[in-house]
Every structure is written in structure tokens, then in C-alpha cells.
Chain A
Amino acid sequence: GEDVEQSLFLSVREGDSSVINCTYTDSSSTYLYWYKQEPGAGLQLLTYIFSNMDMKQDQRLTVLLNKKDKHLSLRIADTQTGDSAIYFCADDSGAGSYQLTFGKGTKLSVIP
């Protein structure tokens, strides 16, 4: 079946950039997503990218997609303590599918 892999932990200093990486196996993905989970809360969509794009920028967030290598990354510029959370990469199973496969999440710790 499909698989999504992420590193489990990332620690950065406040003000630095954070880069969270993800690899996936499903070549039929239409959209790839980044969700954020704060302590004690559900997941919240942060951003997404269409599989035919290679980059998307949204304020402090930059998503890069290398479809050939099935590699997705999320860059957070000027990381703040409020960015401390778990970040999940997810992909769908192709057009018309709303069933997502999630990675195990990367816990981002921001050091003041």
C-alpha cells in the first residue's frame, strides 16, 4: 500500500528557518498536504500543493515538490515559538479520492 515517511523530530532556534521533509510512494497523488497538530488538538490544514506544481509559497511557508523523487518539503521562515507543533505530510490516492495517507508526523521544537 501507499506509504508516507517523515523524520520524527526537528529542533530549531527561534528566528531560523525550519525545513521538514517527507517522502511518499503513491505516484497517483493529486494533492499533497501539510497538516499541523498543536498539543491536545486535532489536525488543521496548513497548506497543500497540486501534484503538477513544484513550488507554492504562502507567507512564511514554502512547499517544494519533487515529483520525480516523490519528495515533499515544508519550509517555515523566521520560525516562532508558536510554530512548535507536530507537522504531518499527507497524500491522497489520486483524483476523486478523499482518503488521505498520513506520515507519522514531525515534532518541531523551537528553542527561544
Chain B
Amino acid sequence: DAGVIQSPRHEVTEMGQEVTLRCKPISGHNSLFWYRQTMMRGLELLIYFNNNVPIDDSGMPEDRFSAKMPNASFSTLKIQPSEPRDSAVYFCASTIDTGYEQYFGPGTRLTVT
């Protein structure tokens, strides 16, 4: 079984550019999470979708961040414009309503110069 798929695995961009991170959850899972991991702040939940609907986006840092889930098999996290402080590893995770385990993707390492 394919796990959670994220792309790209690494992204280097210049400040001010738009960045789009992509996630494909495990088939059959209906909850999707975007996390950001930094040394200083650890793992932070950015946004949580259930059945493609955003349920809690209180962790989204600011208006520069947006996330969409147009269907059950795809989600994007967009940063526009990007800033150096956005540099982090971004993880996507999925689970099913009745499950307790969140399955994490391998992450996207974002570097903004």
C-alpha cells in the first residue's frame, strides 16, 4: 500500500515567491492534517480537514498561508509570498474517522532564501 505521498521532497525558493506543497492521503482516509516542524517550535498543526472540509485552521500562521482540499485524494498548502521564516519541514498526515493513528508523509523540506 502506498503511504501518504508528498511533493516535492525538497523546495528551495527565494523570498517573495509562491510555494505550493502537495499531498496525497492514503486511499480511504477522510481526515487530513498539515503540520509544520521547526527546531524552535517543534511540530505545529496548521490545518485539519475532514471529508474535504477545513475544520480547524487556527494554526495557519497568517494570510500568506492557504490550504485546499478539492477532493478526497489531494490537498495543497500554498504560501504566497514566502519569507525566510517559513523555512521548515512541512508534513501531511491522514487518518480515518474511526482510527487513532495518523499516518505521516515523508515531509517537504522548504528553504526560503
A, B from the same assembly: yes
Residues of A whose CB lies within 8 Å of any CB of B are: 31, 33, 40-45, 48, 88, 98-105
* Chain B, interface residues (CB within 8 Å), range: 20 to 34
In whole angstroms, how far apart are the Cα atoms of A41 and B99 in the complex?
Answer: 22
Given A88-B43, A99-B48, A104-B42; A42-B104 close (CB under 8 Å): yes
Pick the contact of B95 from A41, A98, A105 — CB < 8 Å? A98
Max chain B C-beta neighbours (<10 A), residue from A33, A45, A99: A99
Nearest B residue (CB) for A102: B43
B100 close to A43 (CB less than 8 A) = no
Given A98-B31, A98-B95, A99-B56; A45-B102 close (CB under 8 Å): yes
B43 close to A41 (CB less than 8 A) = no
In whole angstroms, how far apart are the Cα atoms of A31 and B56 in the complex?
Answer: 20
Residues of A within 8 A of B93 (CB): 42-43
Chain A CB within 8 A of B1 CB: no
Residues of A within 8 A of B97 (CB): 98
Sample (6) of A-B pairs whose CB atoms are under 8 Å apart: A43-B93, A44-B104, A45-B101, A98-B102, A99-B48, A102-B42
Nearest B residue (CB) for A92: B100
Chain A CB within 8 A of B107 CB: yes
Residues of A within 8 A of B41 (CB): 104
Residues of A within 8 A of B95 (CB): 98
